[in-house]
């Protein structure tokens, strides 16, 4: 489809999440256009003639770009804001077609039980704390917020409801932290001109920032891929409450400690150990395997499995996330 000198391209973006050494990681690829150190998500254009469905096309793109085969996948959102453009050659349009494309992207969230090394040039698993350092409260209030708070207050001095929004989203002045509002936090930082993508998208020179503030802003991504990643993280954190999706990130056999660390890595906050295990017992989501894991580095722990058969037997909820604030 064309509009004037531009072309509209339907793109497919994948947020592939796994756990590695207790950290939530996302599969990234290098900017294929070159000229930048920023990475992005696996992405490709949908071909209505050659692709049967969006999901099958997205799976093929991920495998082609990273050599990684997807398991659990769900559609995330459709992204089509103004500013989502790219050189035609960079979105799969044949050589010789000049101009740029307006990209309408269908995002997908994929969960993997292991961050298997892809051994493919340009692809890499990266901790998503590198993109959102203010989101990790597992060890208490993140240091990134110490550098970020003065910048937020300076922006909020512009009046209106700015300070109220900043307080609510970033837990300033002892306001409670809501782990699900990842996208709203990123969009406020974008509106405030604090993240690098804001100046880039406006064609402006990035404002001068201290090294501490630059680090607190996290790493930029190409196009609006960091916004897509923020959407995925918020969706996954919310979904923990009403669906047992966390088990899509676990191997067939796991310890309860490993399961707890995985939930904490996704939610970004610490869990109360005893209450977490009581909640698991009430939900009847896991079953002991009658054998121990001797590779824990300490006292051997019992191995469990997810009772996947309960999904067909009855409605199954997720985990009781208010426990995260105990």
- Kindly report the pTM of this predicted structure: 0.89
**Residue 213: phi, psi to the nearest 5?**
-70, -40
Residue 36: predicted pLDDT: 61
Domain-embedded: residue 232: no
Domain-embedded: residue 302: yes
Residues 124 and 198 in one domain: no
Residues 192 and 123 in one domain: no
- C-alpha dist (Å) from residue 10 to 4, 7, 44, 250, 259: 17, 10, 9, 32, 37
Distance CA 124, CA 31 (A): 12
The CATH number assigned to the domain holding 125 equals 3.90.79.10
Last residue of a domain, one of 130, 151, 178: 130
Residues 99 and 142 in one domain: no
The tally of CA atoms less than 13 A away on the side-chain side of residue 35 is 4
Residues 126 and 144 in one domain: no
Residues 176 and 253 in one domain: no
In this structure, the strands spanning 100-111 and 6-20 are parallel
Domain count, the chain: 3
Residues 104 and 164 in one domain: no
Angle at 242 between CA 237 and CA 245, to 5 degrees: 65
Residue 227: predicted pLDDT: 94
Distance CA 106, CA 84 (A): 12
Residues 150 and 87 in one domain: no
Domain-embedded: residue 235: no
Compute how many other C-beta atoms are within 10 angstroms of the C-beta atom of residue 178. Answer: 14
Domain-embedded: residue 154: yes
Which of 75, 84, 94 minimizes the C-alpha distance to 10?
84
Distance CA 8, CA 30 (A): 23
Residue 69: predicted pLDDT: 83
- Calculate Rg over the CA atoms of the chain: 21
Q: Domain limits at 310? A: 242-325
Last residue of a domain, one of 63, 98, 130: 130
Residue 94: predicted pLDDT: 46
Q: What is the pLDDT along the chain (326 residues), one digit of tens a residue?
A: 444 446 778 889 999 999 999 999 999 998 655 556 789 999 888 888 888 899 999 988 888 888 888 888 999 988 876 655 544 444 444 444 455 667 788 999 999 998 888 777 788 999 999 999 999 999 999 999 999 999 999 999 988 899 999 999 999 999 999 999 999 999 999 999 999 999 988 889 888 999 999 999 999 999 889 999 999 999 999 999 889 999 999 999 999 999 999 999 999 999 999 989 988 888 889 999 999 987 666 678 899 999 988 888 777 777 766 455 54
Residue 61: predicted pLDDT: 85
Residues 44 and 119 in one domain: yes
Last residue of a domain, one of 130, 149, 170: 130
Contact between 298 and 277 (Cβ < 8 Å): no
Residue 126: predicted pLDDT: 95
Domain-embedded: residue 47: yes
DSSP SS3 for 204? coil
Q: Which helix (H) or strand (E) holds 306?
A: strand 301-306
Contact between 180 and 195 (Cβ < 8 Å): no
Torsion, Cα of 186, 192, 197, 199 (10° steps):
180
Residues 15 and 32 in one domain: yes
- The neighbouring-strand residues paired with 73 are 110
């Amino acid at each position: 489809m064309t509009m004037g000198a531009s072309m509209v391209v339907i793109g497919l973006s994948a947020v592939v999440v796994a756990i590695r050494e207790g950290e939530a990681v996302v599969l990234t690829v290098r900017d294929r256009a070159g000229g930048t150190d920023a990475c992005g998500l696996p992405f490709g254009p949908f071909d209505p003639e050659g692709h049967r469905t969006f999901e099958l096309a997205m799976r093929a793109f991920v495998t082609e770009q990273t050599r990684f085969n997807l398991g659990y996948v769900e559609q995330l959102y459709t992204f089509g804001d103004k500013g989502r453009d790219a050189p035609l050659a960079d979105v799969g349009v044949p050589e010789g077609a000049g101009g740029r494309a307006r990209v309408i992207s269908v995002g997908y969230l994929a969960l993997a039980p292991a961050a298997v090394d892809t051994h493919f040039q340009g692809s890499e698993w990266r901790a998503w704390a590198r993109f959102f350092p203010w989101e990790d409260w597992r060890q208490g209030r993140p240091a990134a917020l110490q550098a970020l708070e003065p910048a937020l207050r300076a922006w909020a001095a512009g009046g209106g409801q700015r300070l109220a929004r900043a307080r609510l989203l970033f837990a300033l002045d002892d306001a409670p932290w809501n782990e699900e509002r990842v996208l709203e936090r990123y969009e406020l930082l974008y509106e405030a001109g604090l993240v690098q993508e804001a100046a880039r998208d406006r064609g402006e020179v990035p404002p001068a920032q201290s090294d501490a503030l630059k680090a607190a802003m996290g790493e930029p991504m190409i196009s609006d891929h960091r916004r897509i990643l923020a959407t995925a993280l918020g969706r996954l954190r919310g979904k923990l409450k009403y669906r047992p999706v966390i088990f899509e990130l676990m191997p067939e056999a796991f310890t309860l400690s490993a399961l707890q660390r995985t939930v904490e890595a996704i939610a970004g906050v610490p869990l109360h150990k005893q209450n977490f295990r009581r909640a698991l017992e009430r939900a009847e989501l896991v079953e002991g395997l009658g054998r121990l894991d001797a590779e824990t580095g300490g006292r051997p722990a019992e191995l469990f499995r997810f009772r996947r058969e309960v999904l067909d037997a009855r409605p199954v909820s997720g985990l009781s996330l208010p426990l995260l604030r105990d």
